[in-house]
Structure 1
Amino acid sequence: MTSTDLARTVLTALIEAGVTEIVVAPGSRNAPLSFAAYDAAAAGLVRLHTRIDERSAGFLALGLSKNHHRAAVVCTSGTGVANLHPAVLEAAHADVDLVVVTADRPARLRGTNANQTTDQVGIFGPLVPTQDASVSIDLGTTGPVHLNVPLDEPLVPDDRWTPSVTAGSPARRVRPAVHVALEPGPRTVVVAGDDAGPPARMLAQDGGWPLLAEPSSGSRTGDHAIRTYRLLLGSSLGERIERVVVCGHPTLSRPVSRLLGRADVQVIDTPTRGVWPERPFPVSERLPVVPSAAAADSTGWLDEWLAADRSVARRLDALLAAEPDLTPHEVAGAVARALPPGGLLTVGASSPIRDLDLMVPRYEVGVRRKVIANRGLSGIDGVVSTAIGASLARPESTRALALVGDVTFLHDANGLVIGPGEPVPDLTIVVVNDDGGSIFTMLEQGAERYAAQYERLFGTPHGVDLGALCAATRTPHLRVGSLPELEQALASPNGGIEVVEVVVRRDNRRSLDERIRALRP
């Protein structure tokens, strides 16, 4: 089989497996695949995206896949494949249906020092097995799939391809047809981590229990969501918890981790996505599905949490308002308020998602606000590209926003390099710029005893002019320093991709965090 024929066979399999988006990074060895993707896009079977950086290409495909599209990323051999690894690992741990198609040298060159030749079989490790596309192709599974395609010269086609392909649907995720009901009794809370989905909210609602939901859980709606839960967990109210139902992948909060590790708390686990279903905390009971509640709690337990939440939230808002300078929490709050019904928000790791966690209002049920984040491995890499991909995959969104820190933004500034004619979403990227890594000020490394080493090793000031950086890619940029300026910027988007840089302090971040954590009902 010629390389052109093999490439067209691969594209046919992708389309039949429900792939609708293909991201191509340029290269010579993957030229047959690129030509085939171009012809498939010309036939209206897929949407084609090109990126010059494989890491950005991988995260763009990841973002497209996170919004219920099945995307494939195609790259050439050698280091280009290695640059896909961060996105592939995130997809594996978050169980995202990403297809990775890597061009390889032909078998006769493997094991030699031929140019751009390395061992690509199993390059992503045991979490993502490799399929040799010249032997067989199986795309009927969920999660990331790696197709390695050995291609020999000639690498260009003699003709255009008119695909005769019937587009398929992605593999369906089938939930077990079982029903489990929890009896009331123990003082219960529902912890909803990343990708927990509506079942967590419904369980809390039916059981009359507090809902401790992370912003990207897909559960943080309704009257039972507790905004300041991580502060309340350190109070006497948190100490009285007797049972926790865990949904999704909780990653944000040390108070939640401590709760789940308590010997006096019954932890009921429900299925979570990702390659490792084993939890890092003791589990009392594992259920095959998110349960329902047999009856609602009538002890007033939820009312205690709601009253405490209102009290602490008022004091938190007052504390922040009294600060002489704009705080990162207020930035997160402004972004959360600016997200309209039907909107999409992509959140970066580190401080922004934790700040957002304290500031998200109690959104109403059923209005299709969607908050996503790369919480499989919680990296700061590729977030700009993920946000662009997610926005492109959800064109029906009323508004697309992203909230990231400055280091996260710089880590994927290449995501703004988009060529002419490429699909571009309407996306406002809010960059909280405190000139470095503020997350570490709130951890052990930020203690006074490490002050001499801190700034060089963890604070990492960069002094980058973000406006000039954006100008290099012709990305509109606005720098603001106050809450009214930010709110005005968020209220008047200009279309396309734009960056709103919000300047905040970092030198007082540890003190501010200590004062926030000291708030109690």
Structure 2
Amino acid sequence: MRTPADDGPISLNAARSALQTLAEGGVRHLVLCPGSRSAPLAYAAAEAEERGELRVHVRVDERDAGFTALGLSLASGRPVAVATTSGTAVGELLPAIMEANHAGVPLVVLSADRPEELRGTGANQTTDQPGLFGSHVRLCVDIPAGQDPAPELRRAMLTAEGIAASDGRGELPGLGGVEGISVHAVARGPVHLNIAFRDPLVPGPGAALASTRGSAPDSGSAGGAGGPQRGGSEDGEPQDRGTGSDAGPRDEVFFTPIDDLPERRTVVIAGHDAGPVAEEFARRHGLPLLAEPSSNARFGPHAVGPYRLLLAPFESHIERVVVFGRPTLSRPVERLLAGGAVPAALYVPEPVGWFDVGRRRERIIDEPEDLSLFAGRGAPGWLDAWRAAGAAAERSIAGVLDAGPMTGLLLARQVWAASRGALVIGSSNAIRDADLAGLPAGAPAARIFANRGLAGIDGTVATATGVALARGAGRTTLLLGDVTFLHDVGGLFLGDGEVEPDLDIVVLNDGGGAIFSTLEHGLVAESGRYGSTVERFFGTPHRVRLDGLAAAYRLDYVRVDDPAALRAVLDARAPGESGGRPRRRIVDVAIDRTDVRALHRRIASAVAEAVAPIAAGATAPDAATAADQPSSPAPATARH
């Protein structure tokens, strides 16, 4: 058994070795939670930050620490580490680890533990930590007290980045000096190192740190001996991995001559993390692009905004479907892919962790040329019909929304249009409203983030905080519902001296959860069969004062209750954008949710009426001509 260098207490030197290995491997951010057993990691982190090797973010809530690390990794494109003490502290990371697993985010968990002689004895704050995260981590290693964690940590970091090594007899503990190893690609995702520490847990007599806060690396700093790692670049921005990047289009990717392809009525679906490669594919092949907000492909001349209301009238005309990323939002898309009547292909250029091999109906394709041959090029009039239908649907939706009061859809449309830099969208209704009402632009103005791995509402404020901290300069906007906000209100807490992000938190405040009214539960509520059950158990009404929370956490606050006021607030420059210090602001948007189900019915009716003649002529010889004809929606009041 190899032990760390003997220039200090054994536990502290093991921690020093771990953090040095992180820095050498390209990790720039460590989210640290206070605790006694993890004290060696805390002291080693202070030393690493003093040397400028790591930026340390301290959080008292481990769940928010995990989601802050998640946001930091999403925005930086690099692995991010999170460290906790033993016991329930480790379990608090599970929600973020589950999200990272399904979203392919490379988190590195360092959990402190009691040494072997204390396990199973009833010692305080001691439980069975190895294997705690089960199948949600790509690798879990238990490091005995006194052993140098560096070799196993190097292997774990490579695994988190999607690189596994083997010598044919099993996984290797490290790559240094070993010949004949086989390296293969695996799905990116979280890893767990459980490190046992034996007393003493503090620096030895005479040890001291020059200051309590050093010059940490910038968010995008290359720094460290390891240099840029897989998935990151020297400026801290993620590299194009084929899916999920915000890098520009690569016109050389799909190299099959388009003129040689058969004509087909194919649609391109861009799910979460699809990336701009989906937009490029649709554009080059002359196909309509149906892109979710968090695909980061919802732009360009082929993007159709309100696509989910168009699938029903167009479905019988669709011949093939090409899928990029992971579709998570739309039941019409889910039905189209699950039905089996339309051949579908899923583009997977590298391993992903969100589905098991053999469990998806689509044909899995990893080569661009094969995908081109499967999709073909757009049939005459096909793209024009979708464009015309999309434009007619947008006019119909605007006709309904602009004639009424503030709604979640109107809020999402305005936030989508006003966002620059980065936009984080919460689960539940917020992202679905953006999906329906967010108008595709000619080019992306903001990079979109969302926790769609498991689509939970937990940790959303902390995720957005991590995104904003990783980006550094420039405002980040978070759009979320009030229940999602309240679920993670602890994510607002920052200790004195911690870096404050430049963050606008736009809260769709309708006094509860409205999404269930748009689902089948809304029918139950309308029928009256369960009285107030749906409202109490699903709507979860509340009367929390967000201005009081803003005051408690020392955030700026503004209340908005009409569209004109919202536009003025969103157009106003955030404090951090004018050269001042970054600030957080809560934009509290008051909305009445009693009409949500009826509103969606009015919109669906208006869109169906406007789109029906266009869809009916989608396959006619003169479809292109018919598609150019405008379609004006009837007055919104006629559709109640």
Name the TM-score class by shorter chain.
Answer: over 0.9
Tell me the CA shift for residue 268 of structure 1: 0.8
CA distance in structure 1 between the partners assigned to 2:511 and 2:546 by the alignment: 10
Q: Which residue of 2 aligns with 1:431?
A: 507
Tell me the CA shift for residue 289 of structure 1: 4.0
Residues 12-50 of structure 1, C-alpha deviations (whole Å, 9 max, x = no match): 111111110011111111110011111111111111110
Match of 2:397 among 313, 316, 321: 316
Is the aligned partner of 1:146 residue 2:192? yes
CA distance in structure 1 between the partners assigned to 2:122 and 2:450 by the alignment: 40
CA distance in structure 2 between the partners assigned to 1:83 and 1:282 by the alignment: 31
Give the residue type in structure 2 aligned to 1:427: L
Contact 1:247 1:290 (8 Å CA) reproduced: no
Secondary structure of the structure 2 residue equivalent to 1:477 = strand
Contact 2:401 2:410 (8 Å CA) reproduced: yes
Match of 1:503 among 582, 590, 603: 590
Match of 2:545 among 458, 465, 471: 465
Q: Which residue of 2 aligns with 1:85?
A: 94
Tell me the CA shift for residue 209 of structure 1: 0.5
Q: Which residue of 1 aligns with 2:387?
A: 306
Is the aligned partner of 1:212 residue 2:290? yes
Is the aligned partner of 1:262 residue 2:308? no
Tell me the CA shift for residue 166 of structure 1: 1.9
Tell me the CA shift for residue 273 of structure 1: 6.1
Contact 1:200 1:290 (8 Å CA) reproduced: no
Residues 67-109 of structure 1, C-alpha deviations (whole Å, 9 max, x = no match): 1133111111011101111001101100001111111111111
> Which 4+ residue blocks in structure 1 deviate beyond 6 angstroms?
161-165, 173-180
Aligned residue runs from structure 1 range 349-360, under 5 A:
349-360=427-438
Residues 441-487 of structure 1, C-alpha deviations (whole Å, 9 max, x = no match): 01112212344311111010021111111211111111110011111
Tell me the CA shift for residue 170 of structure 1: 3.0
Tell me the CA shift for residue 414 of structure 1: 0.7
Is the aligned partner of 1:285 residue 2:371? no
Q: Which residue of 2 aligns with 1:157?
A: 203
CA distance in structure 2 between the partners assigned to 1:428 and 1:238 by the alignment: 39
Is the aligned partner of 1:238 residue 2:315? yes
Q: 1:198 to 1:351 in 2, by over 3 A?
A: same
Q: Which residue of 2 aligns with 1:117?
A: 126
CA distance in structure 2 between the partners assigned to 1:99 and 1:374 by the alignment: 18
Secondary structure of the structure 1 residue equivalent to 2:42 = helix
Tell me the CA shift for residue 231 of structure 1: 0.4
Q: Which protein is bigger by CA-based radius of gyration?
A: 2
Give the residue type in structure 1 aligned to 2:448: V
Q: Which residue of 1 aligns with 2:50?
A: 42
Q: 1:290 to 1:53 in 2, by over 3 A?
A: farther
Tell me the CA shift for residue 282 of structure 1: 5.2
Match of 1:479 among 559, 562, 565: 559
Tell me the CA shift for residue 298 of structure 1: 4.5
TM-score by length of 2: 0.77
CA distance in structure 1 between the partners assigned to 2:531 and 2:291 by the alignment: 34
Aligned residue runs from structure 1 range 46-85, under 5 A:
46-67=54-75, 68-85=77-94
Contact 1:120 1:148 (8 Å CA) reproduced: yes
CA distance in structure 2 between the partners assigned to 1:225 and 1:279 by the alignment: 30
* Number of positions where the alignment pairs a residue of Structure 1 with one of Structure 2: 515
Secondary structure of the structure 2 residue equivalent to 1:234 = helix
Q: Which residue of 2 aligns with 1:15?
A: 23
Aligned residue runs from structure 1 range 381-400, under 5 A:
381-397=458-474, 399-400=475-476
Q: Which residue of 1 aligns with 2:425?
A: 347
CA distance in structure 1 between the partners assigned to 2:114 and 2:600 by the alignment: 53
Q: Which residue of 1 aligns with 2:110?
A: 101
Secondary structure of the structure 1 residue equivalent to 2:449 = strand
Q: 1:410 to 1:144 in 2, by over 3 A?
A: same
CA distance in structure 2 between the partners assigned to 1:256 and 1:351 by the alignment: 17
Contact 2:286 2:378 (8 Å CA) reproduced: yes
Tell me the CA shift for residue 274 of structure 1: 4.0
Tell me the CA shift for residue 368 of structure 1: 5.3
Q: Which residue of 2 aligns with 1:202?
A: 280
Q: Which residue of 2 aligns with 1:170?
A: 229
Q: 1:279 to 1:267 in 2, by over 3 A?
A: farther
Greater mean deviation of Cα atoms: 131-140 or 34-43: 131-140
CA distance in structure 1 between the partners assigned to 2:299 and 2:531 by the alignment: 41
Residues 357-377 of structure 1, C-alpha deviations (whole Å, 9 max, x = no match): 112222223x55201100000
Structure 1: runs of 5+ lacking an equivalent: none
Q: Which residue of 1 aligns with 2:264?
A: 186
Tell me the CA shift for residue 509 of structure 1: 1.0
Give the residue type in structure 1 aligned to 2:317: R
Match of 1:410 among 467, 477, 486: 486
Give the residue type in structure 2 aligned to 1:111: G
Contact 1:435 1:462 (8 Å CA) reproduced: yes
Structure 2: runs of 5+ lacking an equivalent: 4-9, 162-188, 215-222, 232-238, 244-251, 577-582, 612-640
Give the residue type in structure 2 aligned to 1:47: R
Contact 2:242 2:277 (8 Å CA) reproduced: no
CA distance in structure 2 between the partners assigned to 1:313 and 1:16 by the alignment: 50
CA distance in structure 1 between the partners assigned to 2:532 and 2:587 by the alignment: 33
TM-score by length of 1: 0.94
Secondary structure of the structure 2 residue equivalent to 1:226 = coil
Give the residue type in structure 2 aligned to 1:504: I
